[in-house]
């Protein structure tokens, strides 16, 4: 359309109107082609996004496979120690420290749990690299949260928290604006799901036959005492009333085969309850399928120009 501008601008008004009437369809076609080229260029830029992963456990393997389905190969794996990987990840470079990451990374994704975030998070953010993490429970440590915030400000980067194994966090965050009177998170798992946690000191998990509560307290206490099970409680706390004001109950239920997460909240907005029965990843019964999916959703929000 730029080629027409000078010629048309020099025309008398009457001739200009006639010209527009004759050329309106061509102008519309040119406009649509220009929009298509810009859209295609944007999609190509999205595909070229350079993403690295921290860890290579069950969630990282899921994320890598989902990225491959979207035409993206991880640019690097940040691992505690190098090791031989299988499949498409075999040829991906590996490093053992954040300062060894390649240049030009758009995003790092923490799939290594609390230790991955605490060990590498601040170094990544201070380099100006955005970071996605599902290890929300680690932020119960005030010192770590402050360190990550300072590193992000220093590097001009952002820490994006994936929602993990729970939903309704958008509703909870919106309700917080008007004021929350109470927020309670209830986590229910079969006894085997609490093995390796402080629940073993309270209950005989191998012989449990009745529904038994083994923890009641606030979200910070839950995150500190149950670090391997703390991400959901932390997500609810961060989205809503905060760690101290969020009440948590943890329950072992021998009648369950899946993990159940519940949120109950009340405030100026009204009242709501949310419940999800979550499944685990097929290859790892200790990893939430929805948590892994939420990482991909968080990555896609970084790639899209319209987000929800």
Q: Which of 120, 214, 261, 264 is catalytic?
A: 261
CB 50 within 8 A of CB 72: no
User: Catalytic residue at 261?
Assistant: yes
Which has the closest alpha carbon to 259: 209, 200, 185, 203? 185
Q: How far apart are CA 106 and CA 200, in angstroms?
A: 42
CB 186 within 8 A of CB 251: yes
Q: How far apart are CA 28 and CA 32, in angstroms?
A: 6
Strands 212-218 and 76-78: unpaired
- Please report, to the nearest 10 degrees, the dihedral formed by the alpha carbons of residues 202, 205, 207, 210 taken in order: 80
- The residues carrying an active-site annotation are 261
């Amino acid at each position: 359309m730029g080629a027409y501008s000078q010629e048309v601008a020099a025309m008398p008004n009457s001739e200009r109107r006639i010209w527009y009437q004759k050329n309106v369809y061509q102008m519309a076609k040119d406009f649509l082609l220009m929009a298509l080229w810009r859209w295609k260029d944007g999609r190509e830029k999205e595909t070229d996004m350079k993403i690295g992963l921290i860890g290579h456990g069950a969630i990282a393997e899921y994320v890598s496979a989902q990225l491959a389905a979207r035409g993206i190969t991880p640019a690097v794996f940040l691992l505690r120690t190098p090791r031989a990987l299988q499949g498409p990840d075999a040829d991906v470079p590996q490093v053992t420290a954040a300062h060894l990451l390649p240049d030009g990374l758009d995003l790092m994704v923490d799939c290594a749990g609390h230790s991955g975030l605490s060990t590498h998070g601040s170094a990544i953010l201070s380099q100006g690299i955005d970071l996605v993490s599902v290890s929300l429970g680690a932020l119960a440590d005030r010192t770590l949260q402050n360190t990550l915030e300072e590193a992000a400000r220093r590097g001009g980067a952002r820490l994006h928290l994936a929602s993990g194994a729970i939903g309704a966090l958008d509703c909870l965050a919106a309700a917080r604006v008007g004021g929350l009177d109470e927020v309670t998170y209830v986590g229910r798992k079969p006894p085997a799901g609490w093995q390796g946690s402080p629940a073993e000191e309270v209950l005989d998990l191998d012989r449990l036959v009745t529904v038994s509560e083994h923890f009641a307290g606030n979200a910070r206490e839950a995150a500190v005492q149950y670090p391997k099970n703390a991400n959901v409680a932390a997500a609810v706390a961060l989205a809503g009333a905060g760690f101290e004001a969020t009440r948590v109950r943890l329950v072992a239920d021998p009648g369950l085969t899946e993990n159940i997460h519940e949120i109950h909240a009340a405030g100026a907005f009204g009242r709501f309850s949310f419940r999800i029965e979550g499944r685990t990843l097929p290859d790892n019964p200790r990893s939430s399928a929805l948590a892994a999916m939420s990482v991909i959703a968080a990555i896609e929000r970084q790639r899209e120009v319209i987000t929800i």
